[in-house]
Chain A
Amino acid sequence: MEIIKNGIDYFFLVYGIALFICYFFLILFAIAAIHKNKKRSLFLNENDMKGAIDLPSISLIAPAYNEGKSIIINVYSLLSIQYPYYELIIVNDGSKDDSLQQLIAEFKLEIAPFYQSDQHIQHATVIGIYKSTDPKYKHLTIINKQNGGRADALNCGIAYAKTNLVLCTDADCIIEQDALLKMVRPYLEELDKEIIACGGAIGIANDSIIENGILKELKIPKSILARIQVVEYIRAFLLGRMAWHHIDGLMLVSGAFGLYPRSRVLEVGGFDKNTVGEDLELCIRLRSHMEQLREPYEVVYIPETLCWTEAPSTRKVYITQRDRWARGLWETIKKHRQLFFNPKYRTMGMLFFPYWVFFELGAPIVEFLGLICLIVLTVFGLINWPVAIALFVVVYLIGCIFSTAAILLYTVNFKHYAKGSMVIKLLLAAYLESFISHPIMLYAEIKGYFKKIFGIKSTWGTMTRKGFTTK
């Protein structure tokens, strides 16, 4: 009994220490990456490219499903983006509401002649393509298609796009005016490595003021759950992604805001319709493809917040979202399991993918097992409570330090949360995370895994949103 208990103790201790060491190094890499990015951005003034004619053209693809409440304001927001060679493709994914009728009326749309889409990727049947009769909206294309899910709608948009690059986003995202000028920079700077994907930070804009589709005043969300997610996003984007980008190990570009070379996406067959984690899956597939081709490549990340979204503010929606993310992760890891410690895929196979298996997929499982052990050992009276409490305090404080470091890095480098009162609210939210959102997240993740293990069918899930405050 004692041996088993010791074995369990050491397993959790070693796992915890390994995880903290990884996080510690991620912070160091993130600091280095932010510093480097800040220096380089001085020489990449987006004003210099506004008049240039040699910029790569970009299609912004936004799938919309039953977005009738906000579709008009969101399309106006997406149309106001500054970029000289840009087309906006809204893919109406078989909405059951009046989204399409609203779009037709507001933007004076007319059925446009069908043209042959690229045959490399499959998608549900297209019912009609619409273009505006008003020259003001000549960049706008609406594709009306049968319902096939988000990945299918994105594939359809990519197939019909005619540009060098495609930016995949959601119709309900608020994108910064200069976002494309900033996102395209890595593609302009590439020399010896091809950029196969570029992601930008996503911020949370619950309760903020949106005017004409533009974020006018950023506010801290009123709901504590959404507020905690602000910290979570800062930590994930600024510490996590920035660090992975620094060591060429970035495996995920968020589905809400990712820029890809269209030719490469077509080469790999577009987004996978059979997973709910299509963004992670595409990124891993693109990387694997480049590894197989033995061509030098890079997945890059821009630390500036260029896209704003609404985070779930109720427990129910939060669980739905995290359950879906967990299932997406499970499906992707399972699909690409051949990468696991596969030297053919070099560092991706030997280091980055195993990290995702052990610490992204594995962490909720280990935590859940830890809780079970805690209950069992408590029942058998085998817990040394004073030591357990002291250990909890240490682990909690380490978590607080990571969150505080993320907030510090954000405060130093970006202006969004510059007021003292905002920072204090974020810090308090960070310190409450372990007690409020983390247990819910763990529950949702385990629920997602449970569904996958026992083959329980589940869909994307309904993401009911409150909507932004608009003026």
Chain B
Amino acid sequence: MMQEQLLYTIALGLVIFLVFLWVVIGYSIIIRQSRYVTRSKIDAFFIQKLSMEYAESNALNVPTHLHNDQTIAIKLNNGRKLQYASSILIRVQDTFYSENDNMIEQVCKESGIYKEINKKIKKQNWYPKAMAIWLSYELDLKSHLTCIKPLISHKNVLVRREAQIGLVRFWGWKSLKILPQLKYPISLWQQIRIIENLMDYFPIPDLTYMNKALETQNPFGIELLIRLIRRFEMHAYKNYVIEQLAHPNKNVSETAIEVLETFDLNADQLYKIENLLTLLPTANQPIRISQLIALQQVPTNKEKQHGNN
């Protein structure tokens, strides 16, 4: 009897918990709908704001209803809203061109995004901090650079990563001068982001900073430089890539092979590679390098494309 009672008491508790889960499911569905309404409001607010800024900065007549319609007000008081609002501005920034370089920054200041990002960048928690850095460089808020710069060696990987990408975005090739000082690893994802940012915003390489960056001993930094040499077709640095074939780090030597496969090499360079074969660190590299040499010696119009496509 006792056992039975105990079991039914447990069952009652479980039923109550089950009902609680149902309520949470229902609540989450309602919240999702209300979030949709909020997003529509944010959309409307920014369409109005951006239209006015665009019209004013491009000396167009601002439709009167845009001036009059000040009823929409939004409060970007949480990370989700801030992220959504910012994503609208990032898309606008990537799509539209305006005479006014500071249009987005202006809208950020007027809508409160700027203040929110500023607050979040100073937080201790890694997530809002990294998000604020990301938004700062995506929205081109250059004034945040002073807060971002000290974070390039932050203990949290994402904060550190976003700060380093931010520096590239604001400084361009000049940011490469910090490469020899970086001790932490740089993921392939981060390397891609750095390369793509340089490609999009600073398409002409500044060799002064590139030369300084070559001093790095960090294998991840070397890997990044090799990839940069390929992306920007800096043929003058082919010898640097060839030297990396003998690097003790397998990833570095593999990246060097991949990159050299996409370049045309002269007889001297091929001779240098052949000499390096004796110094190679891992078992599979000599085969790949021999293949590279063979590939370079084929006197045809090789398809110099990345990968296999």
Contacts and interface: CB of A to CB of B under 8 A. Distances in A.
B257 to A, nearest CB: 13
26 contacts: A48-B192, A48-B193, A54-B192, A87-B308, A163-B307, A185-B189, A188-B189, A190-B188, A191-B157, A191-B187, A384-B3, A390-B3, A390-B4, A390-B8, A391-B7, A394-B11, A397-B11, A398-B14, A400-B18, A401-B14, A401-B21, A404-B18, A405-B21, A408-B24, A411-B28, A412-B28
A390 B307 contact: no
B17 to A, nearest CB: 6
Interface in B32-53: 32
Given A190-B187, A418-B29, 18 more contacts: A42-B83, A44-B189, A48-B192, A48-B193, A51-B196, A53-B230, A53-B306, A54-B195, A84-B309, A87-B308, A188-B188, A190-B188, A390-B11, A391-B7, A397-B18, A401-B17, A420-B29, A423-B29
Nearest to B87: A45
B227 interface: yes
Interface of B: 3-4, 7-8, 10-11, 14-15, 17-18, 21-22, 24-26, 28-29, 32, 83, 127, 130-131, 134, 157-158, 161-162, 185, 187-189, 191-193, 195-196, 227, 230-231, 306-309
Given A43-B161, A54-B191, A411 B83 contact: no
Contacts of A53: 230-231, 306
A418 B26 CA distance: 10
A334 interface: no
Contact of B309 (A85, A188, A408, A423): A85
A228 to B, nearest CB: 18
A43 B162 contact: yes
A386 interface: yes
A401 B133 CA distance: 40
A57 interface: yes
Contact of A423 (B10, B25, B83, B306): B25
Q: Is the interface of B mostly helix, strand, loop or mixed?
A: helix
Given A43-B161, A407-B25, A52 B196 contact: yes
B184 to A, nearest CB: 9
A43 to B, nearest CB: 6
Contacts of B187: 188-191
Interface in A363-402: 384, 386-387, 390-391, 393-394, 397-398, 400-401
A54 B308 contact: no
A96 interface: no
B32 A418 contact: yes
A161 to B, nearest CB: 9
A85 B11 contact: no
B18 A191 contact: no
B307 A85 contact: yes
A315 interface: no
Interface of A: 39-40, 42-44, 48-49, 51-57, 84-87, 138-139, 162-163, 185, 187-192, 384, 386-387, 390-391, 393-394, 397-398, 400-401, 404-405, 407-408, 411-412, 418-420, 423, 427
Nearest to A407: B25
A54 B224 CA distance: 10
A39 B127 contact: yes
A408 B28 contact: yes
A397 B309 CA distance: 54
B21 A386 contact: no
B255 to A, nearest CB: 9
A69 to B, nearest CB: 30
A163 B8 CA distance: 59
Nearest to B83: A42
Nearest to B91: A47
B75 to A, nearest CB: 21
Contacts, number: 114
Nearest to B191: A54
Contacts of B11: 390, 393-394, 397
Nearest to A52: B192
Q: Which of B8, B18, B134 has the most CB of A within 10 A?
A: B18
B1 to A, nearest CB: 8
Given A52-B196, A408-B21, A85 B306 contact: yes
Contact of B188 (A54, A394, A423): A54
A393 B12 CA distance: 10
Contacts of B21: 401, 404-405, 408
A387 B4 contact: yes
B309 A57 contact: yes
A191 B185 contact: yes
B14 A397 contact: yes
A55 B187 CA distance: 12
Contacts of B158: 40, 43
Contacts of B14: 394, 397-398, 401
Interface pairs A-B: 7 shortest CB-CB: A390-B7, A188-B189, A397-B14, A57-B307, A85-B307, A404-B21, A52-B192
A146 to B, nearest CB: 26
Q: Which of B130, B162, B307 has the most CB of A within 10 A?
A: B307
Contacts of B161: 43
Contacts of A390: 3-4, 7-8, 11
Nearest to A405: B21
B178 to A, nearest CB: 19
B110 to A, nearest CB: 25
Given A400-B18, A404-B21, A423-B29, A162 B308 contact: yes
Nearest to A419: B29
A185 B21 CA distance: 33
Contacts of A192: 185
Nearest to A40: B158
Given A400-B18, A401-B14, A163 B188 contact: no
Contacts of B231: 53-54
A212 B240 CA distance: 48
Given A43-B162, A139-B309, A394-B14, A187 B7 contact: no
A43 B159 CA distance: 10
Nearest to A50: B196
Contacts of B188: 54, 56, 187-190
B185 A394 contact: no
A397 B192 contact: no
A5 to B, nearest CB: 15
A162 B8 CA distance: 62
A411 B29 contact: yes
B307 A48 contact: no
Nearest to A161: B308
A408 B193 CA distance: 35
A54 B187 CA distance: 12
Contact of A86 (B32, B196, B309): B309
